[in-house]
Structures are given as C-alpha cells and as structure tokens.
Structure 1
C-alpha cells in the first residue's frame, strides 16, 4: 500500500515541481487539483502553499487562487545579476585553484554537453549543463561561495529552463561553455571571470524576455 504523503513531503514535492519548471512562473495553483494529484486532503496542500509563499516561490493573492511567483523584469534582472556575480567569482577562483581532477570533470561534462548539442537533445543538455555549472563552482574550493552560487542557480531554474531549451540558445550556450573551459584550463582568472559574466548575463536577458511573454498570466484572474 502506498504511503500517504505528509505535509512536509507535499511541501518538498511542490517546491521541486516549481524549481524544475514543471509548474511554470505565473501558473495558478489549484488546491483541489494538487490534493487529488498527491492523494491527500487540501490541508497539507494549503500548508505547503503557505510555506512556499514565505520563501517567495508562491504568491498569495487576495480573493484569488495563489500563483507560482513571476518576478517583475527588474526583479529577475537583479537576481540574475547576483547569480552572474556569484558564478563569476567561483569561475575566477576555479581558474586559480582548480585541481587536475576538477578540470577533468569539467572537461568531461563539457564533452557531454557537446554530445547532447550535436544530437539536439535539449532536455539532456539542460541537465548536464546544471552539473557543468556546479563543477565550475565547486572547483573554486570555496564551500561558502559555491554553495551560494548553486543555491541561487537552483532558485532561478524555472526562469532559465524555458529559454535554455531553445535550439539557438543551446548552440550559443555551448560556445560560451568552450570559452569558460579554455580560460579555466589556462589558469586565466580575469578572462574566466569575464567569460562567466557574459554567459550568465545572456541567460538573464532571455529570462526577461520570457517574463514579458508571460506578463498576462501574472495579471490573470480566476474564471
């Protein structure tokens, strides 16, 4: 017999659905629908929604159903700017401190990105892309800084995923990855930082385009 989900497991599952982009920014959240999907009453779903509203992932609206948070363009650009700075710091340190083992892992993941790019497998590319960025952050050998970068990247995942899955973006992303790998392997901190800043900034600009296209969802009222 299947174990009934607890309030905490409902919160964790809903959190993951949002971060993975399966519940896209601007999506109206149905307590009844989620309760049926999870096989629970509305109470743990309501509690999960409340908890996620405190983290900023869900927006509660007076006299309307809650919605997966869709930040303003200004807010999104601020968040991507913060991510770009964090990842650029990590990339700069990686170029100074990376070990041969870390470099081998970075190259391996970049090769995997190339394989998925050649096969136009956008879903697999996006997944390996996440590991590629994590490996760069961890190669900085600064646990606190890499942890912050990885956490921020995960938080912005639902905004990055729709744009990252486009074929033209995948092509540009791989070209940018190559520059990042070359600078880290060459132990060139300044160029490594610049390459990562440019890479993340481009994703942020495309995320802003995504938000513009979904502005009507943010303003949508229940029918």
Structure 2
C-alpha cells in the first residue's frame, strides 16, 4: 500500500511540474525546487525525484549529475531544426492521407481542435499545448504510416519544447489554433498543396524571433 501511495504522489508531482513547464511558470534553465516540493507534499524527496526522472526521460527536464535538475533549455538553432523536421514529417503525412482515412479520423481531429479552443478560452496554456499535440498526432495517425507515427511519437517531447520556446502571446497563439479548422477543411476538400503550405506557416511562425526574445528575456 505504501508503494502505491508513493507512486500516486510521484504522479501528482509529475503532472504538476509538467503543467508548470508547459504553461511557462517554470522557464528554461530554472532549477526544480526539490526541497520546496517535498515540503509542499509533506513527503521525502523520493517521489519528487521519481517525477523529475520521468520528466527527464520525456525531455522537459535536464538532470545535473550530483547536483540538481533544471527545466530543459532549447536554443534558437535547435528550435529551427525541430520545426523543419516537424514540417517535413507532417507534410509527408498530409500526402498520405486518403479521403477514407480522413473521414475515419475527422471526429478525433475535431475533438482535439475544440479542446484546444476551450482550454485557450479558460487560460489553461498547458492543456492547450497537450491538446495541440494530440491534434497533430491524430493528423499523423491518419496517414496510416506506422513508421511515421512511431517517429513523431518519439519526437513529441522536443515538439513540446518548441511550443514553449516560441512563447507566443495569447492573441497570436489563438490565431494559430484557429488554423486547425482550416487545415481540416483543406484536407476535406482535397487541397493538399494548400494544406501543406498552411501547415508550414502553422509550425514555423516567426520562430527565430520568438525563441531569441525568450532566451534573452
């Protein structure tokens, strides 16, 4: 029973830290406050460190050997590299999506797009990022390309970092979230080249300036 309680606490800390990182409350380079978290939850550091280890495996946290853990930092060059790879992979997925496959996934895509809008409306930036990620993974899955799906799932943590690094103001983030429905409409109408062009803008928007501004803030 004690182990289950410890695992539950670790899950709680993991979820809380992940939300704080994705929402920008904990910024890149900031130290993870193990002692404060242990005091907050009234536990030893064991479940805290387990949560931090999981976040490290996910790619959001960097553990300094024999020292402490920090929120992972992404450089402008790395951010651009991730964006380019993501564009190529998602454009490849667009080419592979048939009318039948789109119809099979349209409800799922619509749900994630709507969830993004709802989370944006209540100011829950962490959930916005998570639902946006699920929307794009659903888009990839509609390609029915198992290798492509596997690659994109493994790249998800880096993509989450890219979203954080872009650090878009609320109005800009809302603008790009509205593009989900436009992407779906272009796919529905078979306008794949226009869809791929919109996807390029959707992913790379003002990337370098946003990342540079954040890293020098």
- Partner residue of 1:41? 44
* Residues 1:167 and 2:167 are matched in the alignment: no
Indicate how the Cα distance of structure 1 residues 168 and 57 shifts in structure 2: closer, same or farther if over 3 A, else same. Answer: closer
1:70 matched to 2:73? The reply is yes
Question: What residue in structure 1 maps to residue 6 of structure 2?
Answer: 5
TM-score of the pair, normalised by structure 2: 0.70
Task: Give CA-to-partner distance per residue, 1:33-57, whole Å, 9 cap, x none.
Answer: 2323444323454465466556653
Q: 1:148 to 1:63 in 2, by over 3 A?
A: closer
1:148 to 147, 151, 159: 151
Q: Is the 8 A contact 1:29 1:67 kept in 2?
A: yes
Give the whole-Å Cα distance in 1 for the aligned partners of 2:216 and 2:190. 40
Contact 1:11 1:45 in 2 (8 A): no
Q: Gaps (5+ residues) in structure 1?
A: 215-223
Taking the aligned partners of 2:100 and 2:150, their CA distance within structure 1 comes to 17
Match for residue 14 of structure 1? 14
Q: How many residues align?
A: 210
The question of whether the paired residues in 2 share the 8 Å contact of 1:160 and 1:207 is answered with no
Kept in 2, the 8 Å contact 1:95–1:185? The answer is no
- Between stretches 135-144 and 15-24, larger displacement belongs to 15-24
Unaligned runs of 5+ residues in structure 2 are: none
Distance 1:96 1:86, change over 3 A: farther
Q: CA 1:35/1:180 → structure 2, altered by over 3 Å: closer, same or farther?
A: same
1:200 Cα deviation (Å)? 0.8
Per mean C-alpha deviation after superposition, the further-off stretch among 44-53 and 24-33 is: 44-53
CA RMSD, aligned part only?
3.9
Distance 1:115 1:88 in 2: 23
Match of 1:208 in 2: 211
Native 8 Å contact 2:38 2:44 kept in 1: yes
Shifted more, 126-135 versus 177-186: the winner is 126-135
Match of 2:97, SS state, is helix
Give, in whole Å, the separation in 1 of the partners of 2:132 and 2:214.
Answer: 22
Which among 44, 57, 61 is matched to residue 60 of structure 2? 57
Contact 2:105 2:142 in 1 (8 A): yes
Conservation of the 8 A alpha-carbon contact between 1:183 and 1:191: yes
